[in-house]
Structure 1
Amino acid sequence: MKRTLAFGGLVATSGLLAAGLAAPAHAAGDVASDPLSATGIASQAVASYWYGNHAANLIGATPYNVETMVTSKHVSTGGPAPDSKPGIVPAIGDEKKTASKSKNINLPKTTGKVFFEGADGKPHWCSATSVQSAYHNLVATAGHCVYDTESNASTLKNWVFIPGYYQGKTPWGIYVGKQAFTHYDYDVYEDGDRDYAFVTVYNGLKTPHDGIGDSKDANGKVIPDWYAVGDYKEVSEQDAAAYAKAGYYNVYYTTDKDGKKHWYTWKFVDAGRLGDNVGGQGLAYNQKVGKPVFVFGYPSGSHPDGNHAYSGNTLKWSYGKTFAAQAPAIKGEELVGVKSSFTGEGAIGSSWLLNYKNTRRLGYLNGVTIGVSDTDKNNRIDTSVSPYFDGELYGVYKAAYSLWSGSIA
């Protein structure tokens, strides 16, 4: 079993554009798309779900454990195969860069957590990453971290992405999901070979303690900025009712000396586009199985023997060569696996980066963790599995690639 490696001492895979990967091939797939939130009050209410009540939902969220443990096996013959020529999409900022080497493993800023309300009505999270797109607004994760496979109620509610999340801290802002894209076979049949999703997100919203400072109500009383996304603004009573109906946590009023009510809610502050703030990984598809990848994510939970290896609080990584795998229980007949001790809770959605370049913290997304397995039956997780990235995946990615999101502030 390959254990998770400690920092330092490992030579990173060199090269991005000098790695011998072919130029993108044009492929199309059967795409399913669903809205996550509409522009305006609805999307702002999603953010307030996570920051309201002193960020109780954000801090109290637990790792998503749906379809986490799978029974997988190494396939020695056959396995997934390209359906067209190999292709790549360069990472944000690496479109014209050349290769270099480094001995230090620098963690990518692109990786973070997606938060959402599960079918149980409780807040949960998975791992995810920012990827290249025309408007620098795209996130990649496992399909079942976007689409509700428990209640079959389409997409999961209150979906947001927070890159670099750490114990309630959101260093680059919170990004509300706008539109979700996956393969038709996953949306309809929950096909494990298509368990991936791409999500366009709105511009980020600034985070608690962003330097704006406290505001004052109509009577001059200080309104603390604690866990507010921005400052407060006065709104009409009619608008306040609309905000409250949409699910806002921070809607309140004060009464002035003449008995008039003044209504307030959050004033959201735009944090800019996701890819401009943290970058975005490239994409590789129809690649030969057997190449080494770095896996980045937030593993949490215990091994089957009870050993609690990861807390889920910090970004971790592992490294290994991919191999053909199957997991029939989740309809995964053409998967790829990698040896990794990542436990499943929290690791779902972890990014598999091919030809990861340490100096720029960029590479090519070539897999997302959809399950983990104890293949040698010793009660320790030893394998992560992902759909094979082929031309069908590229078709889903391209459907999301050029869609604009904009600001919700």
Structure 2
Amino acid sequence: MIEMRRKLLTSGLVLGLLTATTTAAPAHAADVVSAPLVWGVPAARDAVAYWLADGGANLRNATPFTPPYDVRGQRASGVVEPPGKPLQISPVPPMAEGDPPRTAGKVFFVGGDDRPHWCSGVAVQNQYHNLVATAAHCVYDMVGAPATTYHWVFIPGPATDGTHPYGIYAGKQVFTHYDFTQYRDPDRDIAFVSVYSGVVPSGDGTLTTNGRLGDIVGGQGLAYNQRIDETTAPEVDVFGYPIGPHPDGSRPYTGQSLERSAGRVTATNLTSPEADRLVGVESPFTGEGSLGSAWLLGYEDERGLGYLNGVTAGVSDTDGDGRYDTGVSPYFDTSLAGVYKAAAANWTGRLT
């Protein structure tokens, strides 16, 4: 029953090639896998209703998703050469004034264990103002056959009491890289989700349209194919909602407030997981809760906007002192730009 409602992976955009490329050639459609998170508006309304039921009990009781990787390694001084020309897509501010940043939030979903969980996520710009980026593990349940999670929603700027100040946005379609769903490749652990226009509950429990995500909170830009070495490594600001413990047991974060750290992106030498295109950033975020945290290049405080250049897929204690000090992300290259472009062209619509 509940299990039957989980959608097995569909790959409608996979057109024939069975391997993805990370060369300078343009990304092929075969690099992109897409799957529905709901089958129509009624199911999307059901997803929202799940999180609003009993006064938002499922929002309050959701637990942070556990990092899928036991990351071991260290930041390195090596060079990451881009496979193509550097690319930047400009951010878009929200239509209404407000305290930045509003693009960061939490993605909520029910996993293969039939329990509610959450990760960090961020709104990114596109033509339909309806796109969210997070770690792919926060959209796909990779235990057994790859399948999407269900009741997936994005809530930007969640408050400490589980409210939803900028609306609730039900996920419609997920886009990720073929190598992640086929091979569980951590180098491709990022997903873009197109969401319906937001809704807010009225006093009698009915849902009222809030507006498109990008109109309400804005959308971060994107930066791909950035060269990384000791002298030109970009510095990014990391935004997310960490909550889990450090290896030494200390718990510096609550998961209730948006946290920020800053550091330079570097190459990484990893002994776990097996990956060759992950990059690292100095960050004290713990793993639980911080999956999906946005790495923003060129972030401007007054606008709350920058260029998404990474998404936390795991964290590592590189010096063995019992405290996490490094976040890791897939390297944003031409192939991942192809995933974004496919997602950016997906129209969604309204729930009401």
TM-score w.r.t. the length of structure 2 is: 0.87
1: CA distance, partners of 2:144 / 2:254: 28
1:220-257 Cα distance to aligned partner (Å, 9 max, x none): xxxxxxxxx2354xxxxxxxxxxxxxxxxxxxxxxxxx
Q: How far off its partner does 1:316 sit?
A: 0.4
- Specify which of 145, 148, 161 is matched with residue 141 of structure 2: 148
Is this contact kept in 1: 2:139–2:149, CA < 8 A?
A: yes
Partner secondary structure for residue 338 of structure 2: helix
2: CA distance, partners of 1:319 / 1:46: 35
Distance of aligned partners of 1:184 and 1:353 in 2 relative to their CA distance in 1, 3 Å threshold: same
Q: What letter is aligned with 2:341?
A: K
Q: What letter is aligned with 1:340?
A: S
Where does residue 202 of structure 2 map in the other structure? 230
Aligned residue pairs total 318
2: CA distance, partners of 1:119 / 1:76: 39
Matched, 1:110 2:103: yes
Structure 1: gaps (5+ residues): 1-24, 95-105, 207-228, 233-265
Is this contact kept in 1: 2:67–2:287, CA < 8 A?
A: no
Is this contact kept in 2: 1:68–1:348, CA < 8 A?
A: no
- Specify which of 255, 259, 278 is matched with residue 335 of structure 1: 278
Is this contact kept in 2: 1:68–1:344, CA < 8 A?
A: no
1: CA distance, partners of 2:245 / 2:156: 24
Where does residue 27 of structure 2 map in the other structure? 28
Is this contact kept in 2: 1:354–1:364, CA < 8 A?
A: yes
Structure 2: gaps (5+ residues): 1-23
Matched, 1:302 2:245: yes
TM-score w.r.t. the length of structure 1 is: 0.75
2: CA distance, partners of 1:176 / 1:47: 7
Q: How far off its partner does 1:41 sit?
A: 1.4
Where does residue 317 of structure 2 map in the other structure? 374
Where does residue 386 of structure 1 map in the other structure? 329
1:131-169 Cα distance to aligned partner (Å, 9 max, x none): 010100000011111111224341111110000012211
Where does residue 284 of structure 1 map in the other structure? 223
Where does residue 211 of structure 2 map in the other structure? 272
Moved more, 62-71 or 271-280: 62-71
Partner secondary structure for residue 277 of structure 2: strand
Where does residue 61 of structure 2 map in the other structure? 60
Matched, 1:177 2:120: no
Partner secondary structure for residue 347 of structure 1: coil
Q: What letter is aligned with 1:120?
A: D
Matched, 1:403 2:342: no
Where does residue 45 of structure 2 map in the other structure? 44
Taking only aligned residues, the RMSD between alpha carbons, in angstroms, comes to: 1.7
Q: How far off its partner does 1:38 sit?
A: 2.6
Where does residue 347 of structure 1 map in the other structure? 290
Q: What letter is aligned with 1:46?
A: A
Is this contact kept in 2: 1:231–1:268, CA < 8 A?
A: no
Residue identity (%): 51
1: CA distance, partners of 2:144 / 2:60: 25
1:72-112 Cα distance to aligned partner (Å, 9 max, x none): 3223335x421110000000149xxxxxxxxxxx7511000
Matched, 1:319 2:262: yes
Is this contact kept in 1: 2:146–2:181, CA < 8 A?
A: no
Q: How far off its partner does 1:27 sit?
A: 3.6
2: CA distance, partners of 1:87 / 1:312: 33
1:149-205 Cα distance to aligned partner (Å, 9 max, x none): 224341111110000012211100100000000000001111011110000000001
Is this contact kept in 2: 1:326–1:332, CA < 8 A?
A: no
Partner secondary structure for residue 269 of structure 1: strand
1:256-311 Cα distance to aligned partner (Å, 9 max, x none): xxxxxxxxxx5321111000000000000001221100000001111111111101
Q: How far off its partner does 1:332 sit?
A: 2.0
